[in-house]
């Protein structure tokens, strides 16, 4: 199976745009398509047995470990996600199990959207409880919990807890989930910026953080907002003018207006710090 998270994010963004312009009678089929897309994305990301997850979609139970699917034959890395899952399950419960993934993640991230304000959810005990994880990570957790049968999505798109989820929420069971990318195998892969000089690595990390903030402001995934290739191009060329940074823009056409200015400011401040670090050495050499 060949997949990329950016493809799923792009498809979801198009469906949301279609939903915003749809008439009330046309919203139901679009919501159903969005649920199907989330279900497929969760199926791809999940570390569990493919056969078990697939049969669960048809209301059938399977013990897993079929020994034939790619997950059973080539297991991927998992981590103990119990603590984060309990935060998510608490949020869904506190909100009355009446809202979909997007709103739940907005509340956990402490985002003051119109919907959050209209329902006074910024006053709830779970508002901002998930700021330690990026939005895309929470979205992946939701999808995987649906795929693994911990959460159920109603026809209206609301998240509900299943019996398995209550066991997790009350500390009777643990949950191990796949890495948010959903594709990393046990073999170690190089991390972002591995092998770069320290000063370039610090700029790369700052660029990734800025991308995440800008994407969250627009309710988008980081990869859908700006690809890794575009960030790598900025770090490699260190643009200092609007013309230079616009020339590096990727297919997302992100580096325009305010976004371009903020990335240029980040490069500029990085170059200034480099000059400050070099100044004492120049005095010692030529003083």
Residue ranges and CATH numbers for the domains of the chain are: 5-178 (1.10.10.10), 198-281 (1.10.150.80)
Paired sense of beta strands 151-153 and 159-161, if any? antiparallel
Mean pLDDT across 183-212: 63
Mean pLDDT across 70-77: 83
Place of tokens 């979205």: 139
CB atoms within 10 A of CB 166: 14
pLDDT tens digit string along 210-255? 888 888 777 777 777 888 888 888 888 888 888 888 888 776 677 8
Least confident stretch, 59-63, 79-83, 257-261, 276-280: 276-280
Q: Decide which of 79 and 188 is more confident.
A: 79
Q: What is the pLDDT of residue 278?
A: 46
Question: Mean pLDDT score of the chain, rounded to an integer?
Answer: 81
Question: DSSP class of residue 197?
Answer: -
Place of tokens 């993934």: 101
Least confident stretch, 31-45, 77-91, 122-136: 31-45
Q: What is the pLDDT of residue 282?
A: 42
C-alpha–C-alpha distance, residues 184 and 156, integer Å: 33
> Is 17 exposed, middle or buried, given 0-12, 13-18 or 19+ CB atoms closer than 10 A?
exposed
What is residue 172's three-state secondary structure?
Answer: coil
What is residue 76's three-state secondary structure?
Answer: strand
**Residues ≥6 apart with Cβ < 8 Å to 10:** 224
Taking CA atoms, 27 is separated from 22, 101, 156, in Å, by 6, 17, 10
* 201-232: burial string, b at 16+ Cβ within 10 Å, e else: bebbebbbebbbebbbeebbbbbbbbbbebbb
Q: What is the pLDDT of residue 150?
A: 92
CA dihedral over 171, 176, 179, 181, signed as positive or negative = negative
């Amino acid at each position: 199976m060949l997949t990329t998270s950016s493809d799923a994010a792009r498809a979801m963004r198009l469906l949301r745009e279609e939903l915003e312009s749809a008439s009330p009678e046309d919203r139901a089929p679009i919501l159903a398509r969005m649920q199907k897309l989330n279900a497929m994305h969760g199926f791809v990301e999940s570390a569990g047995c493919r056969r078990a997850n697939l049969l669960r979609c048809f209301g059938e139970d399977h013990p897993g470990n079929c020994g034939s699917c790619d997950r059973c034959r080539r297991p991927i890395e998992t981590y103990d996600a119990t603590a984060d899952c309990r935060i998510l399950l608490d949020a869904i419960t506190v909100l009355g199990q009446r809202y979909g993934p997007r709103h739940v993640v907005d509340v956990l991230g402490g985002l003051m959207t119109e919907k959050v304000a209209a329902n006074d959810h910024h006053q709830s005990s779970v508002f901002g409880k998930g700021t330690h994880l990026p939005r895309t990570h929470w979205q992946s957790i939701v999808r995987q919990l649906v795929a693994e049968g911990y959460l159920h999505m109603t026809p209206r798109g609301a998240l509900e807890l299943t019996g398995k989820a209550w066991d997790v929420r009350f500390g009777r069971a643990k949950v191990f989930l796949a890495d948010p990318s959903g594709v990393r195998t046990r073999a170690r892969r190089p991390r972002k910026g591995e092998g770069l000089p320290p000063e370039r690595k610090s700029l790369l990390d700052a660029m990734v953080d800025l991308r995440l903030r800008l994407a969250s402001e627009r309710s988008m995934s980081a990869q859908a907002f700006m690809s890794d290739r575009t960030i790598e191009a900025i770090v490699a060329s260190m643009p200092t003018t609007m013309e230079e940074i616009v020339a590096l823009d990727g297919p997302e056409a992100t580096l325009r207006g305010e976004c371009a200015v903020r990335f240029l400011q980040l490069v500029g401040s990085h170059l200034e710090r480099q000059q400050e670090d070099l100044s004492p050495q120049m005095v010692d050499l030529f003083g």
